Amino acid sequence: MTVELVILGLVVVTALAFDFTNGFHDTGNAMATSIATGALSPRTAVALSAVLNLVGAFLSVEVATTVTKDVLLIQTSDGGLVHGLDPTLALVLIFSGLIGGILWNLATWLFGLPSSSSHALFGGLIGAGLASLGVAGVNWSGVVQKILVPAALAPFIAGCVAAVGTALVYLISRAASNRHKDRGFRWGQVGTASMVSLAHGTGDAQKTMGVIALALIAHGNLSVQGIEDNGLPPWIIVTCAVAIALGTYLGGWRVIRTLGKGLVEIEPPQGMAAEASSAAIILTSSHFGMALSTTHVATGSILGSGVGKPGARVRWGVAGRMVVGWLLTLPAAAVVGAVCFIIARAVGGLPGAVVIFLLLAAASAVIFLRSRHQKVDRHNVNAEWDENTHSVAPGDPDRADTQEVARS
C-alpha cells in the first residue's frame, strides 16, 4: 500500500467525520422551531430530520461540482495537478482544510453558536490552499460568486421572506380560535421542517461529496470534466448521505437551543413561516449550485418571523453574537487549515499526515470533555432562556442547570 493511498484513506475518513459534525451541528436549522413550539418531540424531530437528510443527499450533485472547481485550483485543463503540487501534497492540503472545518464546527457547537459548517469547510480549504500555493491556489471568482455573495444576501433575503410570510399568516388566521390555529400550524410545521431537512441533505451532504471528489482528483482517480460528464461515483453519495444522517440523529442540542429559544419566543405560525422560507431558499440555491449556508438562511428566517409577528421580542444581542461568529468562521478555519498544512509539510509525507490527524483527535476529545460540564440534551433543550447567563463561563458549577444551558 502506497503512502498516497494511506493518506487518501485518512482524507476520506476525515471528510466523513466532517459530514457527521455537519449533521449534528446543523440539525437545529430544520428542527429548532418545531421543538421549541412542541410540534415535534425532540427525539422524533431529530429522527425525522435524519431520514430526510439521507433522502435529500441523493437528489442533486450540483453543489458537489461547485466544491471541486470553484474553491481551489489544483488541476490544470489537461487533468494534471498544478505546478507545485504532487499527489501527496495535494491530499495533505485537502486533509488540512477538513481539520480546519471540523474544529470550528466543534468549537462553535460547544458554545451553542449557530455558524456555517459550509463556510468552516471552505475557510479551511482556502487557508490550506494559501499556505501551499499562495493566492494562485484559490479560485477567487468562484469564492466570491458562489460563497461570499450568497453568504451576505441569504440571511437578509430569508429574513424578509419570513417576516412577510409571518405577517400574512397572522393576518389571515386572526379570526380562527387559538386552539385550532395552533394545532393546524403545528402540523404545518411538521411539513415545512421536513422540507428544510430534505433541503439540508440536498445542499450540505454534497459539500463533503465534493471534498472527497477533490481528493480523488488529487490522487488521479477522477477529473473535474469526468464528474461533469458522468457524475460522482455512487459510493461517495451513499457514504456521505449516511454520515450526515447519523450526525443529524445525534442531535446538536446546544445549537438547537440557541435557535429555538435564544432569538425569539416562537409560536407555531412563526415556526411554519420561518421553515417554509428556509426550505424555498435552500432548495433554490442547491438547484443553481450555490454553496449556501443553511445556518445563515435558517437564522435569518427565525429573526424574520420575530419581526413579522406583532409585538414579538427579538433578542438582537444574541443575533449580534451570531453575526460575529459568522464573520470569524472563514478566517478562523483558514488559519487552522493553514497551520495544519504547514505542520504536515514540515514533518513530511505520511508522518506529517498522521501528526495532524492526532492533533485533530486530541482537540476533538478536549472539546467533547469540556461539553460534559454543561450538558444540553433533549431533556433540557426547551428550558427557559435566561438573559443573565451570557456572562457566565461555560461549566461554572455555581449556576443552576437551566442557567448554564441558556448560555449554550
pLDDT (tens digit per residue) in 328-368: 999 999 999 999 999 999 998 899 999 999 999 999 999 99
pLDDT tens sequence across 260-271: 888 888 888 888
Measured CA angle at 24 (ends 112, 287), to 5 deg: 110
Confidence bin at 389 (pLDDT 50/70/90): very low
**CA atoms within 13 A of residue 403's CA, in its CB half-sphere:** 12
**Predicted pLDDT at 357:** 94
Confidence bin at 79 (pLDDT 50/70/90): low
Rounded to two decimals, the pTM is 0.85
Distances (CA, A) of 326 to 104, 136, 298, 376: 11, 25, 13, 23
- Measuring CA to CA, which residue among 232, 208, 291, 183 is closest to residue 13? 208
**Predicted pLDDT at 405:** 36
Question: What is the average pLDDT across 368-385?
Answer: 86
Residues 6+ apart with CB under 8 A from 71: 122, 125, 126, 129, 138, 139, 142, 143, 147
- Reading the block at residue 226, the C-alpha cell is 469526468
Distance CA(96)–CA(344), nearest Å, equals 8
- Per the listing, cell 461554572 goes with 396
Distance CA(269)–CA(266), nearest Å, equals 8
Strand, helix or coil at 302?
helix
Average per-residue pLDDT for the chain: 83
Distances (CA, A) of 145 to 97, 239, 292: 20, 29, 11
- Reading the block at residue 257, the C-alpha cell is 437551543
Distance CA(336)–CA(325), nearest Å, equals 16
Residues 6+ apart with CB under 8 A from 94: 11, 125, 128, 211, 214, 215, 218
Strand, helix or coil at 264?
strand
Backbone angles phi, psi at 265, to 5 degrees: -85, 110
pLDDT tens sequence across 119-149: 899 999 999 999 998 998 888 888 888 788 8
Backbone angles phi, psi at 363, to 5 degrees: -65, -40
Question: What is the average pLDDT across 62-81?
Answer: 73
Backbone angles phi, psi at 18, to 5 degrees: -60, -45
